[in-house]
Structure 1
Amino acid sequence: MRLSSLLTARAKRSVGVALAAALAAAALAAPAHADPPTGSTAPDGYRLVFSDDFDGNALDTGAWGIRQRSWVSDDNVEVAGGVLSLDQTRVTTATDASGFRGAGIATKKHYGYGYYEARVRLPSNEGAFHQSFWTQIWDGQYGKPKYQALFSELDFFESYKGGTHGGYFTWRSNEEDERLSSSARVGMGDPDGASYNTYGALYEAKKLTFFLNGRETGSLTYDSIPNSPMSLWLSTIPEAEKLGGLTEPVGHSYGTMDVDWVRYYTADGQVPATVPASVPASLIDYANDFESGAATNWTAGGGSWSVGTDGTNRVYRQSAATGDVFSLYNAPATHFTRWKNSTVSAAVKLSSDGGGAGIVARYTNPDNYYYLRLNAATDRIELLKRQNGSVTTLAGHSTALTPGTAYQVSLRVNDAKLTAQLNGTEVISATDRAMTSGAWGVKGYNQPFSVDSVRMTSP
């Protein structure tokens, strides 16, 4: 496909204006200055596979997911006026990364060899945030696939620590984040905070070539790097090393990373095969046996919580005998992240015959959540819904419950379908649409208890 056939009407008009200006300048024997191109600079013969011009008033959630990790916020993603804007904001007075939020999106489909490009305007923030156009094997959602194979990360550009450059990394698996290698870095210009630039990269089996506004800036060659499935990302996150000197108030915006369009081409217009062809759909997003001695990223509400020993194991324990108590997993990326479909499981051990304890899901506030409870007073496992402060029992199952015995319980929320297991056997099934998303954690009432082997699996 020829370049001219890929240009939008706006781009064609820009080319016409630029050509007229160039001819006039030549007639005056004065040097002409070419603005960055507004259309594609794909190699000759390459055919379009995927594109988004961000022409609507909202993100196309059929094509993209919003990044859910690394100090980002859904609220910082906006599509308006034909531009995707990823904001960079201060949310607390903390001077580390927890006081700031960026934003990001990633494609739900995976790609491979081909030509990638995006027209982007980068803010001038002197390295306080890390903007990038890159690939990963997962799409940034909760959860993260357990991809036990070598994979590649391609950085078409990264702008941070005072420079903008491209390169690649290889990794052993995404579960341990063990880096195997990193390439040299290729310079990708110096953004001025005002101009759009077209960043491109041609990814081939033996070579990765970088382009800025249609001109090659450098290339990297290799015998081979893992031909892994790749989700395409656009993102900006706080850069921890550069935040300490920022004094702006809470609510301040440090500028936006603006994206006019993004595109992906291949030689034959088809997505090439990768090895393997896709990433797993079922995964463990969070696991904690508390053997580290800490309950990192858990936020307690009421009660007395600590990590202590139970025989040879460490457990997360709540020791208050009275009161309504919670502890919610507080993902640092988004603060009480809005999980939708997931399975939460834990080994729950009660300490007395009164009250109960168990798992909460889709928690939005103390008056709205689902609760899977081991009820020691009635020898039942029960699925409760608390909505606007009113409690409804959705389903229950009678079973003998002995204080001091650990019971493996799990609660799966999948759209309107809610199911619960006790020691690996499904005992409860219910349908309810009251709560569609929310945080998850553990809860008790008038009951000292402990939890161990906590897992959150998605979807």
Structure 2
Amino acid sequence: MLKQLFLAAAAALSLAGCTPEPASKWQLVWEDDFDGAAVDTASWSKIPRKHPEWARKMSDNPLCYDLRDGNLILRAIETPEGTDTVEYITGGLYTKGKRAFHGGRIEVRARLHGAKGAWPAIWLLPFEEEKYPWPTGGEIDIMEHLNYDTIAYQTVHSYYTNNLGRKQDPPQGSTAPILPEDYNVYGVEMYPDSVVFFINGRRTFMYPRIADGPEEQFPFDRPYYLLVDMQLGGRWVGAIDPQDVPVEMEVDWVRYYRERE
């Protein structure tokens, strides 16, 4: 009977685009399910406004943040009159200076809501960012979503891909379908010789270390911090439609696993 139940569960996962992991492979070492009364400030900080295009609307305004029904809510809203110098403000959290991830598997279950100009993202930057300024330390984009797309982008960036322009040797990224307006699980596994991406448990893309390749081709075997943010507008995503704002990103949980020894 147990065997029949297992086979039925495996079949259901396969139909949903997921394949069951061996139970012994991963050990959960940290998670945040956002079930508390407030965000855990021992792990998270609000992302400050900075010069890069993605961060020019970041705000600590509490209207951009909420905890609702066990979800972290990150909003992009029209700026309340007289409260800021930009037309729109957005919310985002990161673990910079607080929690590092080196190797292992990160998964984030989130629901995205389409809007023209919306650009939510889940991604990683070097924990020692001052030592490895962008793009020398690498960037791992676990998920980026644009407008009303039914796909997500998963990409790596480095000195090799950005400054040297080696974007196809090997390919630096890919896209994969998501369930629009529903929850999806976005994941990445980080190894000394590869970065492997997943959506809803299905492997979608792998970026390998080239054997005997230049050092800058694979800077990804180092500690990173995690960013989860609701971005709005920019050259890549395009113009913002005021009729689509406010828009939310709902984050159900974040989990970090290490391989069992």
| TM-score normalized with structure 1 length | 0.43
How far residue 151 of structure 1 moved from its aligned partner, in angstroms, is 0.5
**Structure 1 residues 156 and 245 mapped into 2: Cα distance closer, same or farther (>3 Å)?**
closer
**Structure 1 residues 188 and 62 mapped into 2: Cα distance closer, same or farther (>3 Å)?**
same
Counterpart of 2:232, as a letter, is: P
* Candidates 218, 225, 228, aligned match of 1:225: 218
Aligned length: 224
1:146 aligns with 2:146: no
Partner of 2:87: 99
Q: Is the 8 A contact 2:17 2:202 kept in 1?
A: no
Distance of 2:32 and 2:22 partners within structure 1: 15
* Superposed CA RMSD: 3.4
Partner of 1:136: 125
- State which drifts further: 226-235 or 236-245: 236-245
Counterpart of 1:207, as a letter, is: S
Distance of 1:268 and 1:153 partners within structure 2: 26
* Candidates 119, 122, 141, aligned match of 2:112: 122
1:280-331 CA-to-partner distances (Å, cap 9, x unmatched) read xxxxxxxxxxxxxxxxxxxxxxxxxxxxxxxxxxxxxxxxxxxxxxxxxxxx
Question: Relative to total residues, which structure has the larger helix share, 1 or 2?
Answer: 2
**Structure 1 residues 42 and 236 mapped into 2: Cα distance closer, same or farther (>3 Å)?**
farther
Counterpart of 1:225, as a letter, is: F
Counterpart of 2:35, as a letter, is: D
How far residue 197 of structure 1 moved from its aligned partner, in angstroms, is 0.9
Partner of 1:110: 100
Q: What stretches of structure 2 of length at least 5 have no aligned partner?
A: 50-54, 211-216
Counterpart of 1:147, as a letter, is: K
Partner of 1:257: 249
Distance of 1:60 and 1:42 partners within structure 2: 31
Distance of 1:59 and 1:41 partners within structure 2: 30
Distance of 1:151 and 1:133 partners within structure 2: 17
1:16-43 CA-to-partner distances (Å, cap 9, x unmatched) read xxx79x79xx9xxxx9995688xx9687
* Candidates 172, 177, 182, aligned match of 1:184: 172
Counterpart of 1:246, as a letter, is: D
**Structure 1 residues 245 and 214 mapped into 2: Cα distance closer, same or farther (>3 Å)?**
closer
Distance of 1:230 and 1:222 partners within structure 2: 18
1:63 aligns with 2:43: yes
Partner of 1:392: none
Distance of 2:13 and 2:42 partners within structure 1: 43
Q: Is the 8 A contact 2:173 2:205 kept in 1?
A: no
- State which drifts further: 45-54 or 217-226: 217-226
Partner of 2:213: none
* Candidates 177, 180, 185, aligned match of 1:198: 185
Distance of 2:260 and 2:198 partners within structure 1: 21
How far residue 44 of structure 1 moved from its aligned partner, in angstroms, is 4.3
Distance of 1:43 and 1:117 partners within structure 2: 16
Counterpart of 1:199, as a letter, is: Y
Q: What stretches of structure 1 of length at least 5 have no aligned partner?
A: 1-18, 140-144, 173-177, 270-459
Q: Is the 8 A contact 2:115 2:245 kept in 1?
A: no
Distance of 1:32 and 1:137 partners within structure 2: 34
Distance of 1:85 and 1:203 partners within structure 2: 27
Counterpart of 2:223, as a letter, is: P
Distance of 1:234 and 1:43 partners within structure 2: 28
SS at match of 2:253: strand
Larger-gyration structure (1/2): 1
**Structure 1 residues 118 and 245 mapped into 2: Cα distance closer, same or farther (>3 Å)?**
closer
**Structure 1 residues 264 and 199 mapped into 2: Cα distance closer, same or farther (>3 Å)?**
same
Distance of 1:207 and 1:65 partners within structure 2: 29
**Structure 1 residues 164 and 99 mapped into 2: Cα distance closer, same or farther (>3 Å)?**
same
Q: Which runs of 4+ in 1 moved over 3 A?
A: 31-37, 40-44, 178-183, 241-245
Q: Is the 8 A contact 2:232 2:240 kept in 1?
A: no
Distance of 1:166 and 1:78 partners within structure 2: 27
Counterpart of 2:224, as a letter, is: M
1:236 aligns with 2:235: no
Q: Is the 8 A contact 2:110 2:249 kept in 1?
A: yes
Partner of 1:267: 259
**Structure 1 residues 101 and 171 mapped into 2: Cα distance closer, same or farther (>3 Å)?**
farther
Q: Is the 8 A contact 1:118 1:263 kept in 2?
A: yes
The within-5 A match list for 1:18-417 is: 44-69=24-49, 70=55, 71-74=57-60, 75=62, 76-91=64-79, 98-107=86-95, 108-126=98-116, 128-138=117-127, 146-148=130-132, 150-160=136-146, 162=149, 163-171=151-159, 179=163, 182=167, 183-193=171-181, 195-223=182-210, 225-226=218-219, 227-241=221-235, 242=237, 244=239, 246-248=241-243, 253-268=245-260
Q: More relative contact order in 1 or in 2 (CA 8 Å, sep 6+)?
A: 2
| TM-score normalized with structure 2 length | 0.73
How far residue 137 of structure 1 moved from its aligned partner, in angstroms, is 2.1
